[in-house]
Structure 1
Amino acid sequence: MANYTKRVKYKKHKRHINVGARPGSIIIPDDALPPQITIFSFNQDDLQTSKGKDMKTITQQIAKCTDHTHWIKINGLGDAQLIEDIGIFLGINQLVLEDVVNTHQRPKFDEYDGYVFGTSRIIYFNSENELVNCQFSGIVKDNIIISFEESHRDYFEVVTTRLKAGKGTIRTGGPGYIFYALTDTILDNYFVLLSQLGDMIDQTEDKLYQSPDKTIMFDAQQLKRTLITIRRACWPERDKINDMIRSESPEITKDIKLFLRDAYDHCIQAMDMVESYKEVTSSIIDLYLSMVSNRMNEIMKVLTIISVIFIPLTFIAGIYGMNFSRQDDHGHVIKDNMPELYVQHGYVYALIGMFLIGLFQLFIFWKKGWFNKL
């Protein structure tokens, strides 16, 4: 196991604020990626896939596969015209389209006349060890589900693999089931991320016990910040799934709600893990500060013992360093003035006395057990 924790960097994600803009305005961020469209048209016996970059790809595929369920997967939100065309084609409210391109939404589920809309947060570490926090949006209407993702990363590869295999409910559950499957995949990847964070917390804790230094506090704080990011995604995700379970929309059937209850349990488990890890990281920081404080107390104790030993020695040296003469200029003895100044071998006696005083103090400290705790 490595003896250090990798630095967690946060991928820059600027928020575009357009003060006073008309509600429903579709404003594409400057760093938005060009869209890549993949369409999966499927039923129990057939799966057809097509790819493209414009609205024509969507309309042709839907016209060709009239008895299929369609999953329109869009990676990249860099084309405002495409978003508007999809809204016109499916009759989607402009406010929904605005939420799709405004990629700082908290997880939510909204019902509209004839369709439902939901968002989630996709959180993962990229290849450069940056924490990426991007948005997933989904619209379910009739036999169509459209999913929007900010990046070109194939985050839902496991779902497409299941779709190609054609086993289970994936092809027969309808677009609402696909929406559940995508939501459940996001939750499952939270556990993958939390497992990575758990390993990083263990590394930081091991380092605390083996070779503590100030980087431990910085590492623990970064881990805590990452956990807060996940917590901000998990808490509203729980409310979103709960709203889906309580929904009366025909797109969310009774069978889908049964699966959603399982996803709700997963969300609660992820929240519990986040809270537990947050407590551990806080404990690591507190323990490190306590260790620093205890170490400082030990150092102060050593210095105090040294000072206590030298205080009486300094007192003696100070007394005999005052140089008050024993006799005056006429040879007369001055009463009460330094009688030891003319004692033979007085210097040696003074040193021996000071040495014995020091040894006596060391013996007393040893008997009290002070040296055993250093």
Structure 2
Amino acid sequence: MNGNLKRLRFKKHKHAGNVGDRPGTINVPSDALKPIISVYSYNKDELVTCEGKDIKTALKQLNKCDNHTHWIKINGLGDAELIEQIGEHCNINSLVLEDIANTHQRPKFDEYDDYAFCTSRIVHFNKENEIINCQFSAIIKDNIIVSFEEDHTDRFDAVKARLKAGKGAIRTAGPGYMCYALTDTIIDNYFVLLAQIGDHLDALEDKLYESADKTIMFDAQQLKRTLIVVRRASWPERDKINDMIRSESPLITPEVKLFLRDAYDHCIQAMDLIENYKEVTSSIIDLYLSMVSNRMNEIMKVLTIISVIFIPLTFIAGIYGMNFSRQDDKGHILPDNMPELYWHHGYIYAIVFMLLIAVIQVFVFWKKGWFNRL
């Protein structure tokens, strides 16, 4: 990671729809991307893939490969009609379709009569160092899993590579295992994000020890906000996986539950890392504030020593700056009015005396060790 931490920006999502809309209404945001549909039909012997932009592509593939398990991957939610057509084809409740289009859901797992629905949060940095928090949704039914993502970024290359290789249980364990594989990939991406945050924290600590400035506090606070976003995604994800493990749905087989326990452990590890990094960011902020406070104390100590040295000198200068007259208006001598003002070399005596006082004070401060602590 680059040691120079850029300002972190948070992508803002606009809520679609209006307050009081009928439950089950599909409201697609105006800036939602048009969908791209990829279909992966697979069994133990083969993998058939195709791409398109409408439901006909998926239906044609499903009819062609009737003895396969199908993963319909939809990137982009900018077509409400497509979501409705998928709902009609799979007999999905309208509330589920609403949750797919409303991309502010927390991670969850819901069971229905003949299908299951789950959501997750995909959190990552983009090229501009902006934290992106997108929703991933999936419908699991019979031999079909339909996944929905907000953008066109392909984050499941590893899963597709496993499909092409045909090794392991991914081709034979059904759509429940595919849901696990996608969920596990999302959790693995949390570790990638946390590794980037860890690099940022290391760079901040190095900068703190070398040349601390106020940008450290701002950057640490931005990282803390990022960790809060990741925490809000990972904590419900743990509960979601736990619900899948405890599920009695035939879609989540005992074999899949065994793998889900491993994903659950990974989620717990990510949560521990998040909490540790949050403590580190708080420590960096506290350490910076302590360093600023200590630096201010040192400056105040120097100014205090200088002031203490000049207080008696200022006092002497003030005494002899009063200039009371030695004689009255009739020429009579006033013996009590500063005879030193008429001494020969009186100015030199005063300067030497003031210098002697300053030297004595500096010597006393030095003996006390005050200068060693500056």
Shorter-chain TM-score bucket reads over 0.9
- Structure 1 residues not aligned, in runs of 5+: none
> TM-score, normalized by length of structure 1?
0.98
1:249 aligned partner: 249
Partner of 1:209: 209
Paired residue type of 1:137: S
Q: State the partner residue of 1:302.
A: 302
Residue 191 of structure 1 is matched in structure 2 by 191
Which residue number in structure 2 is paired with residue 237 of structure 1?
A: 237
In 1, Cα distance between the equivalents of 2:2 and 2:51?
A: 43
User: How far 1:50 sits from its partner (Å)?
Assistant: 1.3
Q: Offset at 1:83?
A: 0.5
Shift of residue 128 of structure 1? Answer: 2.2
Count of aligned positions: 374
CA distance in 2, matches of 1:147, 1:129: 26
What secondary structure sits across from 1:72 in the alignment?
strand
Which 4+ runs in 1 deviate beyond 6 A? none
Q: CA–CA distance in 2 between the matches of 1:129 and 1:310?
A: 54
* Alpha-carbon shift at residue 163 of structure 1 (Å): 0.4
Q: Deviations over 1:239-296 (max 9, x none)?
A: 1001111111111111111111110010010000001111111111111111111111
Fraction of identical pairs, as percent: 73
**What CA RMSD, in Å, does the superposition of the two structures yield over aligned residues?**
1.1
1:3 shift after superposition: 4.5
Residue 35 of structure 1 and its aligned partner are, at CA, apart by 0.8
Equivalent residue, structure 1, for 2:75: 75
Distance 1:129 1:289 in 2: 26
Structure 2, unmatched stretches of 5+, are none
Residue pair 1:4, 1:207 contacting (<8 A) in 2 also: no
The alignment partner of 1:362 has SS state of helix
User: Which SS does the other structure have where 2:132 is aligned?
Assistant: strand
Within 5 A, what are the aligned runs for 1:83-122?
A: 83-122=83-122
Counterpart residue identity of residue 207, structure 1: K
Matching residue of 2:369: 369
What does residue 319 of structure 1 align with?
319
State whether residues 3 and 200 of structure 2, in contact with CA within 8 Å, keep that contact through their aligned partners in structure 1: no
Q: Deviations over 1:306-336 (max 9, x none)?
A: 1111100010011111111233233433242
Kindly report which structure 2 residues correspond to 1:1-374, keeping only aligned pairs within 5 A, or say none.
2-374=2-374
**How many Å separate the matches in 1 of 2:5 and 2:363?**
46
Q: After TM superposition, give the deviation of residue 150 of structure 1 in Å.
A: 0.6
Contact 1:121 1:233 in 2 (8 A): yes
SS of the residue corresponding to residue 148 of structure 1 reads strand
Structure 2 distance, partners of 1:325, 1:361, is 33
Q: Following the alignment from structure 1 to structure 2, what is the Cα–Cα distance between the partners of residues 232 and 71?
A: 28
Rounded to whole Å, the distance in 1 between the matches of 2:95 and 2:288 is 49
Deviation at 1:343, TM superposition (A): 1.9
